Amino acid sequence: MSTWAIVPIKPLNRSKSRLSSVLTIKQRAALSREMFERTLTTLRGVPGIDTTLVISRDTGALSLARQIGAQTLQERGESELNASLTMATRVAIERGATGVLLLASDIPLLQAEDVENMLNLGKYPPVVVIAADRRNEGTNAMLIRPPVLIRYSYGEGSLNRHREAAEAAGADVHIYQSLTTGLDVDIPADLDLYRELLVEQELVELSWPVRT
């Protein structure tokens, strides 16, 4: 049994446009890079993940991924998340993957324990384990075994679409919920919550003020 993690990432200098009201372009790129690096480093510490595959059109992000030990895939054609993830999944299957964990690059509190919990829930195929976002609407991570069990349907409201597709395919479906996988940083409110949690844990000094 070989499980591959697949991490897509947009070009760093064009990332997090919905944070433009509170962060500069350089700050948004730095934040995206910080979260991306942390995601890859966390995955490296999980024994159940055999390989991490990063897909992007950003050559700088791909170079960084290789430095951290990930394999990389250059995104081609028009950028569309579902198509890119499908292409990456095919490559993973060709290289021996029997399960894939699709993981967003912007989950800043992700813990190795979260990944291990999802792997434990998804031991026996056919199975789909979905890590919900904090609004219970989106898909922040998804473990699929076998990899081609369902079609990807990322976008607004993806949680229910992925759950329904998995049920229709006859898979066992588990919804994984935790604060550390639920927080993805897309809008200013997400950034505020992230900084507040870091301050509570005394992990960092704030680079930007928490809005009130």
More confident call, 118 vs 190: 118
Residue 207 binned pLDDT confidence (cut-offs 50, 70, 90): very low
Q: Which domains does the chain have, with CATH numbers?
A: 3-184 (3.90.550.10)
Average pLDDT of span 81-96: 96
Question: Does position 193 have pLDDT exceeding 80, yes or no?
Answer: yes
* pLDDT tier at 201, thresholds 50, 70, 90: low
The residue to which tokens 């394999």 are assigned: 71
Residues facing 173 on adjacent strands: 128
Residue 62 is encoded by which pair of tokens? Answer: 């791909």
Mean pLDDT taken over the chain: 91
Pairwise pLDDT comparison (200 vs 17), residue with the higher score? 17
> Residue 178 in 3-state DSSP?
coil
Instruction: Write the CB contacts of 174 (distance below 8 Å, at least 6 apart in sequence).
Output: 121, 122, 127, 128, 129, 130
- pLDDT exceeds cutoff 70 at 205: no
Task: For residue range 27-83, list pLDDT tens digits in order.
Answer: 888 999 999 999 999 999 999 999 999 999 999 999 999 999 999 999 987 779 999
Q: Is the backbone peptide bond immediately before 146 cis, with ω within 30 degrees of 0?
A: yes
- Tell me the one-letter amino acid at 70: A
Q: What percent of the chain has pLDDT over 70?
A: 93
- Closest-CA residue to 102 (of 121, 88, 116): 88
List of residues 6+ apart from 42 with CB closer than 8 A: 110, 111, 112, 115
% the chain with pLDDT above 90: 75
Taking residues 154-161, what's their average pLDDT?
Answer: 96
Distance CA 137, CA 128 (A): 16
Model pLDDT for residues 111-128, shown as the tens digit of each residue: 999 999 999 999 999 999
